[in-house]
Amino acid sequence: MSAVAVDALLADLAAAGDVLVDPDLLASYRYDQAAPGLLPAGVPAAVVRPTSTAEVQAAVHAAAAHGVPIVPRGAGSGLSGGANAIDGGLVISLERMDRIVELDAAGLTATVEPGVVNAALGAAAAAEGLWYAPDPASREFSTIGGNVATNAGGLCCVKYGVTRDALLSCEVVLADGRAVRVGHRTRKGVAGYDLAGLVCGSEGTLGIITEVTVKLLPAPPRASTLAATFSSLVDAGEAVAAIVRRVRPSMLELMDRTTLQAVQELEPLGYEDDVHAVLFARSDAGPDAGPREIALMEVLCEAAGATLTVASDDLEEGRMITVARQLAYPALERKGSTLLDDVAVPLPQIPALLAGVEEIAREHGVLIGTFGHAGDGNMHPTVVYDHRDADAVRRARGAFDAIVALALRLGGTVSGEHGVGALKTPFLDAELGEARALGRAIKDAWDPAGTMNPGKAV
């Protein structure tokens, strides 16, 4: 944009809240947490930080008047480039809209602004003896608005579902500046199309989320925990398949040998060198049923070839049992830049996915550690590379693309929970086929000028 055009835009942003134009400050809003060196990010003309829906509307009106593209932004914790800025565009950061508007303990709902951190909502619910179930690994710093925008998942989603399953309604500022409320405050509601469900996962391409109402649940009973080691990925995959046919665990996570070795380097936990996979499971079915479910899962793991099982119904022991899973991503990050994938496949295809990822690592000469949500087939093969080395970046991207192609061949999806963003748009035709045109038609109806987070998600 020319200096004159920028000045005109800034003048019209006067009613839109705090406006940033300092180049050093703008630089911190250019990227999300997607892998460095792989995705472009522009330099925005400005960043605006509204504190109300009215200020968001003012920002959208100003951008529309000047034909400026908008990139909505939450905490910037995304992993697919969905919040990467556009040259000359306007970043609308929702970080200052961080109020819990209402926590209705009787109605089991919470209404929050988009900048509320997931863990903060969890703490507020816990103070009322309630629970907000969606628990992405980023819950300590990711925001509810971003969780809704990407339909975030988490460890508990195998039993309690993803963000869309907890969403009741939301307020959205559209591309023309109108603020509309979609969805229902009731637990059931089928009047009209499910527009709240449509907004959930739309990654800012249909509008800007300014308020969210979600379901709360009674706090679950104390969980019982199991860890099982295996000498082969195939055996671990068979254990997963057996468990999901018989039990509905509240967590069922898998970690491969490469990830476990990285964890052991970070914090030695006493795993033997011949362990090729570790399965972590929890049951929150209650003080009687929980231990029984854990015992059944232990039997199923042993029948599938588990070399060691450890179980406990003690809360602190349970945390110690699962510490390796919590350290998975930080351990891999210590080895270099990371390109974290989130493909999902049908449950019977998990062993084939894991074996295929190991072969891809060999073919491309890269380190790939795989961990993730085995209970719903959503795995996180993580490519580790040196972002300063052009050849390493090339090999990392080649391995990443091969993993996505493998997931599609196995009947899976390119993204289970992190969103498409800019990283995975090249794969949408292969997965969606002609249905992709339907999505684009919806985008055109909501955003005729194409200014809402262009180039992302669709």
The predicted model gives 377-402 an average pLDDT of 95
Distance set, CA 375 to CA 66, 110, 159, 194, 221 (Å):
48, 28, 9, 27, 20
Q: Is residue 456 assigned to a domain?
A: no
Q: Is 105 found in the same domain as 214?
A: yes
Tell me what percent of the residues of the chain surpass a pLDDT of 90. 93
What is the pLDDT at residue 36? 67
Q: Are strands 100-104 and 308-312 parallel, antiparallel or unpaired?
A: unpaired
User: Which one-letter amino acid corresponds to residue 22?
Assistant: D
User: Which one-letter amino acid corresponds to residue 349?
Assistant: Q
d(CA 393, CA 376): 30
d(CA 110, CA 145): 13
Q: Is 110 found in the same domain as 201?
A: yes
- CATH at residue 34: 3.30.43.10
Is the pLDDT score of 173 beyond 90?
yes
Number of compact structural domains in the chain? 4
- CATH at residue 310: 3.30.70.3450
Residue 9: pLDDT band (50, 70, 90) is: very high
State how far Cα 161 lies from the chain centre: 13
What is the pLDDT at residue 3? 74
The predicted model gives 61-81 an average pLDDT of 96
Q: Are strands 70-73 and 90-93 parallel, antiparallel or unpaired?
A: parallel
DSSP for 123-134 reads HHHHTTTEE---
SS3 90: strand
What is the pLDDT at residue 267? 92
Mean pLDDT of the chain: 95
Q: Is 228 found in the same domain as 183?
A: no
Q: At what angle do helices 350-364 and 390-409 cross, to 10 degrees?
A: 160
Q: Is 343 found in the same domain as 306?
A: no
The predicted model gives 41-64 an average pLDDT of 97
Q: Which residues pair with 20 in a beta bridge?
A: 47
Q: Is residue 8 assigned to a domain?
A: yes
Q: Is 233 found in the same domain as 154?
A: no
Final residue of a domain: which of 294, 327, 360?
327
Q: Is 132 found in the same domain as 34?
A: no
What is the pLDDT at residue 234? 85
DSSP for 372-419 reads EEGGGTEEEEEEEE-TT-HHHHHHHHHHHHHHHHHHHHTT-BS-SSS-
Contact between 410 and 346 (Cβ < 8 Å): yes
Is the pLDDT score of 1 beyond 90?
no
What is the value of pTM for the model shown? 0.95
What is the pLDDT at residue 348? 87
Q: Is 55 found in the same domain as 153?
A: no
Q: What does the pLDDT look like over 181-195, one tens digit per residue?
A: 999 999 999 999 999
Q: Is residue 62 assigned to a domain?
A: yes
**Residue 348 neighbours by CB distance under 10 Å:** 15
Domain of residue 421 covers 336-429
Q: What does the pLDDT look like over 197-241, one tens digit per residue?
A: 999 999 999 999 999 999 999 999 999 999 999 999 889 989 999
Q: What does the pLDDT look like over 301-327, one tens digit per residue?
A: 999 999 999 999 998 999 999 999 999
Contact between 382 and 338 (Cβ < 8 Å): yes
Q: Is residue 435 assigned to a domain?
A: no
Residue 12: pLDDT band (50, 70, 90) is: very high
Q: Is residue 449 assigned to a domain?
A: no
Residue 5: pLDDT band (50, 70, 90) is: confident
Q: List b or e across 56-84, with b for residues whose CB sees 16 or more CB atoms inside 10 angstroms.
A: bbbbbbbbbebebbbbbbbbbbbbbbbbb
Final residue of a domain: which of 198, 218, 238?
218
The predicted model gives 377-394 an average pLDDT of 95
- CATH at residue 201: 3.30.465.10
Q: What does the pLDDT look like over 240-270, one tens digit per residue?
A: 999 999 999 999 999 999 999 999 999 999 9
Q: Is residue 228 assigned to a domain?
A: yes
Six token digits for residue 411: 């009947």
Is the pLDDT score of 442 beyond 80?
yes
In this structure, the chain runs to a length of 458
Q: Is 417 found in the same domain as 344?
A: yes
When comparing pLDDT for 273 and 294, which is higher? 294
Q: Is 157 found in the same domain as 134?
A: yes
Q: Is residue 446 assigned to a domain?
A: no
Within 8 A by CB and 6+ apart from 398, the residues are 364
What is the pLDDT at residue 363? 98
The predicted model gives 363-387 an average pLDDT of 96
Residue 34: pLDDT band (50, 70, 90) is: confident
d(CA 195, CA 381): 32
d(CA 52, CA 64): 19
Q: Is residue 434 assigned to a domain?
A: no
The predicted model gives 139-152 an average pLDDT of 97
The predicted model gives 278-296 an average pLDDT of 96
The predicted model gives 136-144 an average pLDDT of 95
First-to-last CA distance in the chain? 26
Q: Is 207 found in the same domain as 288?
A: no
Is the pLDDT score of 26 beyond 80?
yes
Residue 402, φ and ψ in degrees, nearest 5: -65, -35
d(CA 125, CA 354): 37
Distance set, CA 420 to CA 85, 186, 345, 369, 371 (Å):
15, 30, 16, 21, 20
Q: Is 263 found in the same domain as 245?
A: yes
- CATH at residue 399: 3.30.70.2740
Final residue of a domain: which of 185, 203, 218?
218
Q: Is 159 found in the same domain as 81?
A: no
Q: What does the pLDDT look like over 85-122, one tens digit per residue?
A: 999 999 999 999 999 999 999 999 999 999 999 999 99
